[in-house]
Amino acid sequence: MTAPASAEPHIRAVQAVLEAALQALPTPIHAYIGVRPDADSTCVVIHGSTGDPSGSLGDRFADLTVPIQLTAVGTGPEQAAAYADAARAALLTASLAVAGRAVWPAWQTASQPVLRDDTVQPPLWIATAQYSIKSNPA
């Protein structure tokens, strides 16, 4: 029986893909895992989870589905939406590389309208969307 796979390499693979794509924008931004640095008012933040192992009775931990959320942060609603679009395009067309795993193409599972974040000053705008990534042993 396979030991449950770790979600962390999957989340790092998402960060690598997004960082490369977002650095290629006309105004480059960064992709961070878990938190937006105070000094960076425009970025994409990746929130991952521990993942959901599954599989057959013979190998019930072989597969792993990792839900993630991408939060695009901008100084205005149009900017946040544009960064979210760029991140979605990069993630949905990427071939994610995780050592020892065959990774399926990511798919979007939900999204929210662009919202104003008044918890910071000056206020920022955020666009969020949720995705899932599934992998099997390679």
Average pLDDT of the residues of the chain: 94
Q: Where are the domains of the chain?
A: 8-137
> Which has the closest alpha carbon to 66: 24, 31, 15, 115?
15
The pLDDT of residue 2 is above 80:
no
Give 20-50 pLDDT, tens digit per residue: 999 999 999 999 999 999 888 999 999 999 9
Give the pLDDT confidence of 112-128 residue by residue, as tens digits.
999 999 999 999 999 99
Q: Is 98 exposed, middle or buried (0-12, 13-18, 19+ CB in 10 A)?
A: buried
pLDDT at 3 over 80: no
Identify the pLDDT of residue 1: 66
* Residue showing tokens 């662009």: 114
**Mean pLDDT for the stretch of residues 70-93:** 97
Tell me what pLDDT residue 60 has: 78
CATH code for residues 8-137: 3.30.2000.30
Per-residue pLDDT at 47: 97
CA 94 to each of CA 41, 66, 75, 120: distance values in angstroms, whole numbers, following the listed order: 26, 16, 27, 32
